[in-house]
Amino acid sequence: MTVYNFGSINLDHLYKVDHFVRPGETMASESYQMQLGGKGANQSIALAKANAEVKHVGAVHLDDSNVLHELSSVGVLTSLIEQTQTPTGHAIIQLNKEAENAIILFAGANHTLSEQQVDSVIQQISVDDWVLLQNETNQIGYIVKQAHNNNIPVAFNPAPMDVALTQELMPFIRLLIVNEVEAMDLMQVDTVDAAKESLQRQYPNLAIIMTLGSDGVRYLCGDEDVYVPAFKVTPVDTTAAGDTFIGFCLAALMEKAPIKDALIRACAASALCVTRLGAAPAIPTKLEVDEFLSKQLS
C-alpha cells in the first residue's frame, strides 16, 4: 500500500525571538535557520520515517532540486513532484520562548497543480492505497472528488481551515484529521466537547481524529470514541508536531494496527518531535519512536 500525498513543499525561514513582533516594532532574532517544511512535505517525511511508502505529489522551483534530494534521502518518492518556473512556497516562522509559533505562508509553486497532473496521478492509484491532503495546495476539491469517484480512500487534514470547502468535501473523505481549534471552527462552536458532539451527530459514518495538543487525541467514528493522553515532555518547538502525528498515525493504520495503538505511536512521535527545533529535521525515525515507547511504557 502507498500513500499519495498531494501536499505543499515549503522552505521555512525560522527565527527564534523573545516575543512575537508587534505592529511597528523592529526586533533582532536570536537565531535563524532555513529548513525544508510545509505541511505536505512534513507529513510525507513523517510517513517515510515511519517506514510507510509515500509518493509526494507537488511542485518546486527549477532551482530547488536540493529539496527533492532532501526528501529522497529520508525515503520519500519524488518522481511525481513537478519542477516549475514559479518560486517554491515558503514560510516565515517566529518561534518565541514559550515554544509557540506565528507563521506567514507564501503558496508559490504549491498552487500550480493542474487537473491534468491530478488525473495522471489518480490513474496510478489503487483502491488499496490512500490519498492524503492538507489545505496548502490548490485543486483540493478536484483531487478529493476524483479520488472518491475511483473508490480511493482519502485522508484530509484541512489546515489552514477553510470551513466552506471542508464542509463541502466531508461526504467524499474517509478520514478527517483536525486539531481542537479547527474542529471548533468547522462546527461553528465554542468548546471542544460541543465540536465532538456535533461531529459525531452530523457525520456518523466518518472517521475523525481530533488532536488536543498537550491533552492528547480523540478518535471518533459512529459510536466509537477512543481517547489517548499525550506523553509529557518539555516542548522546544511545536511547528511539526501535528504533521508528525499524522504521518505516524496513518503509517500505523496502513499496517492494520488497532486504532488505539496507532494513536499511541503517533502521540509518541509527536512528543519526540516537539523536543527538537525545526520542522522536517525534528521528525523522529521509527526506531527512535520504538525506543521512546519502550522507555515510557516499561
Phi-psi region of 139 (alpha: psi -120 to 50; beta: other; left: phi over 0): left
Is 64 considered catalytic here? no
Contacts 24+ apart (CB under 8 A), 180-185: 180/210, 180/211, 180/212, 180/213, 182/158, 183/210, 185/161
Going through the chain in order, the beta strands assigned E by DSSP cover 2-6, 10-16, 31-37, 53-61, 81-84, 89-95, 101-106, 130-133, 154-156, 175-179, 207-211, 217-221, 224-228
Give 221's DSSP letter: E
Cβ-Cβ contacts under 8 Å for 119 (sequence gap 6 or more): 146
Of the CA atoms within 13 Å of residue 237, those in its CB half-sphere come to: 22
Q: Is 103 exposed, middle or buried (0-12, 13-18, 19+ CB in 10 A)?
A: middle
Among all chains, which residue has been given the C-alpha cell 508528525? 244
> From CA 226, how far away is CA 245, in angstroms rounded?
16
Label the pairing between strands 53-61 and 101-106: unpaired
- Write the single-letter amino acid at 225: D
Positive/negative CA dihedral, 232, 101, 106, 160: positive
Active-site annotation holder among 64, 185, 237, 243: 243
Catalytic residues: 243
